Structure 1
Amino acid sequence: MFDTHVDTAYVWVAVGVVSVAVLGVVTQLPASAPPDAAAAATTIDEVATGPPGSVATRDLHAAEWSLTGRQLGLRASGGTAHETLLQPVVPAVDEALAAVLDGERPSAAFGSPGAFRRATERAATDGDQWRPAPDRLTARHVAWGGVDVTLVG
Protein backbone atom coordinates (compact mmCIF):
# COMPACT_ATOMS: atom_id res chain seq x y z
CA MET A 1 0.00 0.00 0.00
CA PHE A 2 2.84 2.44 0.76
CA ASP A 3 5.03 1.22 -2.04
CA THR A 4 6.63 3.76 -4.36
CA HIS A 5 5.58 3.34 -7.93
CA VAL A 6 8.30 3.65 -10.52
CA ASP A 7 6.07 5.80 -12.76
CA THR A 8 5.69 8.48 -10.08
CA ALA A 9 9.29 9.67 -10.40
CA TYR A 10 8.91 10.09 -14.17
CA VAL A 11 5.72 12.11 -13.74
CA TRP A 12 7.36 14.47 -11.23
CA VAL A 13 10.36 14.99 -13.50
CA ALA A 14 8.06 15.69 -16.46
CA VAL A 15 5.99 18.17 -14.44
CA GLY A 16 9.19 19.94 -13.34
CA VAL A 17 10.50 20.20 -16.91
CA VAL A 18 7.18 21.55 -18.21
CA SER A 19 7.04 24.09 -15.37
CA VAL A 20 10.52 25.39 -16.18
CA ALA A 21 9.64 25.63 -19.89
CA VAL A 22 6.44 27.58 -19.17
CA LEU A 23 8.33 29.92 -16.84
CA GLY A 24 10.88 30.55 -19.59
CA VAL A 25 8.17 31.43 -22.11
CA VAL A 26 6.35 33.73 -19.70
CA THR A 27 9.47 35.68 -18.79
CA GLN A 28 10.24 36.29 -22.48
CA LEU A 29 6.84 37.84 -23.28
CA PRO A 30 6.97 41.61 -23.95
CA ALA A 31 5.71 43.89 -21.20
CA SER A 32 3.68 46.03 -23.61
CA ALA A 33 2.05 45.85 -27.01
CA PRO A 34 3.85 46.92 -30.19
CA PRO A 35 3.25 50.52 -31.31
CA ASP A 36 0.11 51.29 -33.32
CA ALA A 37 1.58 51.76 -36.79
CA ALA A 38 -1.85 51.39 -38.42
CA ALA A 39 -3.21 54.51 -36.72
CA ALA A 40 -0.11 56.53 -37.63
CA ALA A 41 -0.28 55.31 -41.24
CA THR A 42 -3.96 56.27 -41.45
CA THR A 43 -3.13 59.79 -40.28
CA ILE A 44 -0.36 60.10 -42.88
CA ASP A 45 -2.60 58.68 -45.63
CA GLU A 46 -5.38 61.16 -44.84
CA VAL A 47 -2.97 64.05 -45.32
CA ALA A 48 -1.24 62.57 -48.38
CA THR A 49 -4.53 62.06 -50.21
CA GLY A 50 -5.91 65.44 -49.14
CA PRO A 51 -5.38 68.77 -50.86
CA PRO A 52 -2.12 70.72 -50.47
CA GLY A 53 -2.12 72.52 -47.16
CA SER A 54 -3.58 69.53 -45.30
CA VAL A 55 -1.93 68.86 -41.95
CA ALA A 56 -2.52 66.38 -39.13
CA THR A 57 -0.78 65.28 -35.94
CA ARG A 58 -0.92 62.14 -33.85
CA ASP A 59 0.75 61.12 -30.61
CA LEU A 60 3.35 58.39 -31.09
CA HIS A 61 4.16 55.78 -28.49
CA ALA A 62 7.37 54.45 -30.00
CA ALA A 63 11.06 54.69 -29.26
CA GLU A 64 12.22 54.61 -32.89
CA TRP A 65 10.73 55.03 -36.33
CA SER A 66 11.70 54.60 -39.96
CA LEU A 67 10.05 55.97 -43.06
CA THR A 68 10.96 54.78 -46.54
CA GLY A 69 8.77 55.90 -49.39
CA ARG A 70 5.60 53.94 -48.70
CA GLN A 71 6.71 51.99 -45.60
CA LEU A 72 6.33 53.22 -42.00
CA GLY A 73 8.04 51.32 -39.20
CA LEU A 74 7.61 51.90 -35.46
CA ARG A 75 9.70 50.17 -32.79
CA ALA A 76 9.20 50.07 -29.01
CA SER A 77 9.90 47.70 -26.13
CA GLY A 78 6.77 45.73 -27.05
CA GLY A 79 7.97 44.99 -30.58
CA THR A 80 8.12 46.40 -34.08
CA ALA A 81 5.21 47.22 -36.38
CA HIS A 82 5.23 48.10 -40.09
CA GLU A 83 2.51 49.58 -42.29
CA THR A 84 2.36 50.36 -45.98
CA LEU A 85 1.22 53.85 -46.95
CA LEU A 86 -1.05 54.67 -49.90
CA GLN A 87 1.37 57.21 -51.40
CA PRO A 88 5.10 57.88 -51.05
CA VAL A 89 5.97 60.43 -48.36
CA VAL A 90 9.16 62.25 -47.38
CA PRO A 91 10.65 62.32 -43.87
CA ALA A 92 11.51 65.85 -42.74
CA VAL A 93 15.07 64.98 -41.76
CA ASP A 94 16.89 68.26 -42.34
CA GLU A 95 16.37 71.64 -40.73
CA ALA A 96 14.74 73.36 -43.73
CA LEU A 97 12.26 70.51 -44.35
CA ALA A 98 11.45 70.45 -40.64
CA ALA A 99 10.70 74.18 -40.80
CA VAL A 100 8.30 73.61 -43.73
CA LEU A 101 6.72 70.73 -41.79
CA ASP A 102 6.18 73.12 -38.87
CA GLY A 103 4.29 75.56 -41.13
CA GLU A 104 6.91 77.80 -42.72
CA ARG A 105 6.35 78.54 -46.42
CA PRO A 106 8.70 76.59 -48.71
CA SER A 107 9.69 79.87 -50.40
CA ALA A 108 11.02 81.14 -47.05
CA ALA A 109 13.02 77.98 -46.32
CA PHE A 110 14.33 77.32 -49.84
CA GLY A 111 15.69 79.68 -52.51
CA SER A 112 13.87 77.99 -55.36
CA PRO A 113 11.49 75.15 -56.17
CA GLY A 114 14.52 73.26 -57.52
CA ALA A 115 16.26 73.47 -54.15
CA PHE A 116 13.07 72.25 -52.49
CA ARG A 117 12.84 69.34 -54.95
CA ARG A 118 16.48 68.34 -54.34
CA ALA A 119 16.00 68.46 -50.56
CA THR A 120 12.93 66.23 -50.75
CA GLU A 121 14.72 63.79 -53.07
CA ARG A 122 17.70 63.58 -50.69
CA ALA A 123 15.39 63.06 -47.71
CA ALA A 124 13.40 60.39 -49.56
CA THR A 125 16.53 58.31 -50.18
CA ASP A 126 17.89 58.96 -46.69
CA GLY A 127 14.89 57.68 -44.73
CA ASP A 128 15.65 53.96 -44.55
CA GLN A 129 17.32 54.08 -41.16
CA TRP A 130 15.85 53.89 -37.67
CA ARG A 131 15.74 57.24 -35.86
CA PRO A 132 14.48 58.31 -32.45
CA ALA A 133 10.72 58.75 -32.74
CA PRO A 134 9.12 62.09 -31.98
CA ASP A 135 6.47 62.26 -29.26
CA ARG A 136 4.06 63.64 -31.81
CA LEU A 137 3.95 62.70 -35.51
CA THR A 138 3.11 65.53 -37.91
CA ALA A 139 2.21 65.14 -41.59
CA ARG A 140 1.85 68.11 -43.97
CA HIS A 141 0.94 68.08 -47.69
CA VAL A 142 3.00 70.77 -49.44
CA ALA A 143 2.90 71.92 -53.07
CA TRP A 144 5.24 74.60 -54.45
CA GLY A 145 6.65 75.21 -57.91
CA GLY A 146 5.70 71.82 -59.33
CA VAL A 147 6.86 69.93 -56.25
CA ASP A 148 3.99 68.12 -54.51
CA VAL A 149 5.05 66.12 -51.43
CA THR A 150 3.81 65.01 -48.05
CA LEU A 151 6.35 65.74 -45.33
CA VAL A 152 6.32 63.63 -42.17
CA GLY A 153 8.23 64.18 -38.97
Structure 2
Amino acid sequence: MFETYVDTLYLWVGLGTVSVAVLGVVVGLPTTAPPDATATAATIDEVTTSPPGSVAHRRVVATEWRFNGRDLRLRNDGGTATARLIRAAVPARTDRLQAVLNGERPKAVYDSPDAFRRDTRQTRAGDDGWRPAPDRLTVRHVAWGGTDVTIVG
Protein backbone atom coordinates (compact mmCIF):
# COMPACT_ATOMS: atom_id res chain seq x y z
CA MET A 1 0.00 0.00 0.00
CA PHE A 2 2.83 2.49 0.76
CA GLU A 3 5.23 1.42 -1.92
CA THR A 4 7.75 3.83 -3.41
CA TYR A 5 7.76 3.84 -7.16
CA VAL A 6 10.97 4.47 -9.04
CA ASP A 7 9.11 6.80 -11.48
CA THR A 8 8.20 9.23 -8.68
CA LEU A 9 11.78 10.53 -8.27
CA TYR A 10 12.13 11.11 -12.01
CA LEU A 11 8.80 12.91 -12.09
CA TRP A 12 9.84 15.36 -9.35
CA VAL A 13 13.25 15.99 -10.91
CA GLY A 14 11.61 16.65 -14.29
CA LEU A 15 9.01 18.95 -12.77
CA GLY A 16 11.73 20.89 -10.94
CA THR A 17 13.77 21.26 -14.13
CA VAL A 18 10.78 22.58 -16.10
CA SER A 19 9.96 25.03 -13.29
CA VAL A 20 13.48 26.43 -13.29
CA ALA A 21 13.38 26.80 -17.10
CA VAL A 22 10.05 28.66 -17.00
CA LEU A 23 11.35 30.95 -14.26
CA GLY A 24 14.40 31.75 -16.41
CA VAL A 25 12.19 32.73 -19.36
CA VAL A 26 9.95 34.93 -17.21
CA VAL A 27 12.89 36.73 -15.59
CA GLY A 28 14.43 37.35 -19.03
CA LEU A 29 11.37 39.16 -20.42
CA PRO A 30 11.59 42.96 -20.70
CA THR A 31 9.77 44.90 -18.02
CA THR A 32 8.68 47.76 -20.30
CA ALA A 33 7.37 48.07 -23.83
CA PRO A 34 9.64 49.43 -26.56
CA PRO A 35 9.22 53.15 -27.27
CA ASP A 36 6.78 54.36 -29.93
CA ALA A 37 9.00 55.90 -32.59
CA THR A 38 6.23 55.86 -35.20
CA ALA A 39 3.94 58.17 -33.21
CA THR A 40 6.84 60.51 -32.44
CA ALA A 41 7.80 60.63 -36.12
CA ALA A 42 4.15 61.32 -37.01
CA THR A 43 4.22 64.36 -34.71
CA ILE A 44 7.36 65.65 -36.47
CA ASP A 45 5.81 64.99 -39.90
CA GLU A 46 2.63 66.81 -38.89
CA VAL A 47 4.56 69.97 -38.00
CA THR A 48 6.80 69.66 -41.06
CA THR A 49 3.79 69.65 -43.38
CA SER A 50 2.06 72.49 -41.47
CA PRO A 51 2.57 76.21 -42.13
CA PRO A 52 5.59 78.01 -40.63
CA GLY A 53 5.03 78.94 -37.00
CA SER A 54 3.50 75.57 -36.16
CA VAL A 55 4.64 73.99 -32.89
CA ALA A 56 3.98 70.61 -31.29
CA HIS A 57 5.08 68.88 -28.12
CA ARG A 58 5.17 65.14 -27.50
CA ARG A 59 6.04 63.12 -24.43
CA VAL A 60 8.88 60.70 -25.15
CA VAL A 61 9.08 57.43 -23.22
CA ALA A 62 12.66 56.45 -23.99
CA THR A 63 16.01 56.60 -22.26
CA GLU A 64 18.07 57.42 -25.38
CA TRP A 65 17.40 58.75 -28.83
CA ARG A 66 19.23 59.22 -32.09
CA PHE A 67 18.02 61.63 -34.75
CA ASN A 68 19.86 62.44 -37.95
CA GLY A 69 17.15 64.52 -39.62
CA ARG A 70 15.58 61.63 -41.54
CA ASP A 71 15.54 58.63 -39.19
CA LEU A 72 14.37 58.66 -35.59
CA ARG A 73 15.55 55.94 -33.23
CA LEU A 74 14.31 55.57 -29.67
CA ARG A 75 15.63 53.07 -27.16
CA ASN A 76 14.78 51.92 -23.63
CA ASP A 77 14.92 48.70 -21.59
CA GLY A 78 12.12 47.24 -23.74
CA GLY A 79 14.05 47.56 -27.00
CA THR A 80 14.78 49.91 -29.89
CA ALA A 81 12.25 51.38 -32.32
CA THR A 82 12.97 53.17 -35.59
CA ALA A 83 10.82 55.40 -37.80
CA ARG A 84 11.56 57.34 -40.98
CA LEU A 85 10.24 60.85 -41.57
CA ILE A 86 8.37 61.97 -44.68
CA ARG A 87 10.47 65.15 -44.95
CA ALA A 88 13.83 65.92 -43.40
CA ALA A 89 13.99 67.98 -40.21
CA VAL A 90 16.86 69.60 -38.32
CA PRO A 91 17.96 68.40 -34.88
CA ALA A 92 18.52 71.24 -32.40
CA ARG A 93 22.14 70.40 -31.62
CA THR A 94 23.50 73.95 -31.33
CA ASP A 95 22.63 76.53 -28.69
CA ARG A 96 21.32 78.92 -31.34
CA LEU A 97 19.01 76.33 -32.91
CA GLN A 98 17.84 75.37 -29.42
CA ALA A 99 16.97 79.03 -28.76
CA VAL A 100 14.92 79.18 -31.98
CA LEU A 101 13.24 75.91 -31.01
CA ASN A 102 12.32 77.42 -27.64
CA GLY A 103 10.53 80.33 -29.35
CA GLU A 104 13.18 82.95 -30.12
CA ARG A 105 12.92 84.52 -33.57
CA PRO A 106 15.81 83.54 -35.87
CA LYS A 107 16.36 87.25 -36.51
CA ALA A 108 17.20 87.76 -32.81
CA VAL A 109 19.60 84.78 -32.68
CA TYR A 110 21.41 84.91 -36.05
CA ASP A 111 23.23 87.78 -37.74
CA SER A 112 21.77 87.01 -41.16
CA PRO A 113 19.54 84.55 -43.00
CA ASP A 114 22.71 83.04 -44.50
CA ALA A 115 24.09 82.26 -41.03
CA PHE A 116 20.79 80.56 -40.17
CA ARG A 117 20.89 78.54 -43.41
CA ARG A 118 24.53 77.49 -42.81
CA ASP A 119 23.81 76.39 -39.24
CA THR A 120 20.82 74.29 -40.28
CA ARG A 121 22.77 72.65 -43.11
CA GLN A 122 25.79 71.84 -40.93
CA THR A 123 23.58 70.46 -38.18
CA ARG A 124 21.55 68.36 -40.59
CA ALA A 125 24.74 66.85 -42.06
CA GLY A 126 26.15 65.74 -38.70
CA ASP A 127 25.22 62.80 -36.48
CA ASP A 128 26.34 62.68 -32.88
CA GLY A 129 25.09 59.18 -32.03
CA TRP A 130 22.92 58.15 -29.11
CA ARG A 131 22.02 60.88 -26.60
CA PRO A 132 19.81 60.95 -23.52
CA ALA A 133 16.21 61.33 -24.63
CA PRO A 134 14.24 64.38 -23.52
CA ASP A 135 11.08 63.84 -21.47
CA ARG A 136 9.22 66.10 -23.87
CA LEU A 137 10.06 66.60 -27.53
CA THR A 138 9.43 70.03 -29.08
CA VAL A 139 8.98 70.46 -32.83
CA ARG A 140 8.84 73.93 -34.47
CA HIS A 141 8.44 74.88 -38.14
CA VAL A 142 10.46 78.03 -38.91
CA ALA A 143 10.83 80.07 -42.10
CA TRP A 144 13.22 83.01 -42.41
CA GLY A 145 15.13 84.52 -45.31
CA GLY A 146 14.44 81.71 -47.77
CA THR A 147 15.18 78.94 -45.27
CA ASP A 148 12.16 76.82 -44.37
CA VAL A 149 13.00 74.13 -41.78
CA THR A 150 11.49 72.12 -38.98
CA ILE A 151 13.62 72.06 -35.83
CA VAL A 152 13.37 69.11 -33.43
CA GLY A 153 14.72 68.87 -29.91
Match of 2:86 in 1: 86
Which ranges of structure 2 fall in alignment gaps of 5 or more residues?
none
In 2, Cα distance between equivalents of 1:131 and 1:143: 27
Q: Is the 8 A contact 1:91 1:127 kept in 2?
A: no
Secondary structure, aligned partner of 2:116: helix
In 2, Cα distance between equivalents of 1:125 and 1:22: 48
The one-letter code matched in structure 2 to 1:149 is V
Identity across the alignment (%): 62
Match of 1:66 in 2: 66
The one-letter code matched in structure 1 to 2:26 is V
In 1, Cα distance between equivalents of 2:118 and 2:20: 58
Match of 1:57 in 2: 57
Supply the RMSD in Å over aligned alpha carbons: 1.7
**Structure 1-normalised TM-score?**
0.89
In 2, Cα distance between equivalents of 1:72 and 1:81: 8
**Structure 2-normalised TM-score?**
0.89
Q: Is the 8 A contact 1:51 1:141 kept in 2?
A: yes
The one-letter code matched in structure 1 to 2:114 is G
Which deviates more from structure 2 when the two are superposed, residues 31-40 or residues 48-57? 31-40
In 2, Cα distance between equivalents of 1:117 and 1:16: 67
Secondary structure, aligned partner of 1:99: helix
Secondary structure, aligned partner of 1:41: helix
Which ranges of structure 1 fall in alignment gaps of 5 or more residues?
none
Q: Is the 8 A contact 1:66 1:73 kept in 2?
A: yes
Aligned residues: 153
Shift of 1:3: 4.6
Match of 1:108 in 2: 108
Shift of 1:74: 1.4
Secondary structure, aligned partner of 1:141: strand
